[in-house]
Amino acid sequence: MLVGLACALGSSLCYGLGSVLQAIAAADADAAARLDPRLLLRLARSWRYLVGLALDGAGFVLSLVAVRSLPLYVVQAVVASFLAVTAVVGALFLGTRLRTVEWVAVAMVVLGLAMVSISAAPQSARAPDAIVEWLVLAGAVALTLVAFPLARLSGARGAWVLGTVAGLAFGVVAVAARALSSSTARGDVVPSVHVLATAPTSYALLVAALLALTTYATALQRGSVVQATAPLVVGETVLPAVVGLTLLGDHPRPGLGVAATAGFSLAVVAALLLSRFGEVDVPPAQRRGPT
């Protein structure tokens, strides 16, 4: 369980550092008029964006290890704290000014994660029924189909809607990863090639990950960072938590259900207060350099 918590915290750190690098890379990217995966190809010309993606990949692998011994609600609450990491890194290295309420939010994240961690019961990932795996894939495909017409929305409304889709897609990624972790042999980090090739959740993970990256990048171009990131935080934390508790056998320690709920809620609310750090404010001097 301690290894799982360490991996979850490491995942959050990777995501936080990765988002800073991706923000610098995306600062001068051309805006997309519709949902266009080629936006990711344009961003991939920047070494900063590629390093940021590599950190995201490392964070994802660490989260795979974490969900093998921890409930999804714990892992997702920790992952959502990447906004606190981004805020602190931005303040230390990019000169971002944190208001008093945001420093309080960072402290709230720490307190919420402490409560969630204490309440977590050590457990092994339970293999979901086949119908659950197919439902996860169907959810990923359905989100993709509705994302294209929704991407025509502009302004604040478009940012909020696409941020919601991105959050739900990241939630699907987390659920799919949890399902795959139950099929991973003891001592291995990732499932076997046979499992990856035959499990519906493998394809759900790929579809949802691409959708999440594209819709979030597009949402950030439609409105403010807060409008795009706030619904993302809710979607990527609440959806996996509910699925984990209802379908995957997650549960807190006996008698600590209230602490688990309070800690999870505190961490999510604090992340919402820090949602403007979904993309840090990059000074002009930091934007220059080779891409």
Split at pLDDT 50, 70, 90, the class of 224 is confident
pLDDT in tens, 240-273: 999 988 888 888 888 889 999 999 999 999 989 9
Q: With contact defined as beta carbons under 8 Å apart, do 122 and 10 qualify?
A: no
Q: What is the pLDDT of residues 59-117, one digit of tens each?
A: 888 888 888 788 888 988 888 888 888 888 878 876 778 889 999 999 999 999 889 98
pTM higher than 0.95: no
**Residue 286 scores a pLDDT above 60:** no
What residues does each domain of the chain span? 1-30+37-123+274-291, 124-249
- Average the pLDDT over 216-223 and give the result: 81
d(CA 244, CA 72): 6
Nearest to 243 by CA among 162, 135, 164, 160: 135
Query: Once rounded to an integer, what is the mean pLDDT over residues 10-26?
Result: 79
What's the whole-number average pLDDT of the chain? Answer: 82
pLDDT for residue 229 is more than 90? no
Q: Which of 80-84, 121-125, 171-175, 194-198 has the highest mean pLDDT?
A: 171-175
pLDDT value, residue 167 = 92
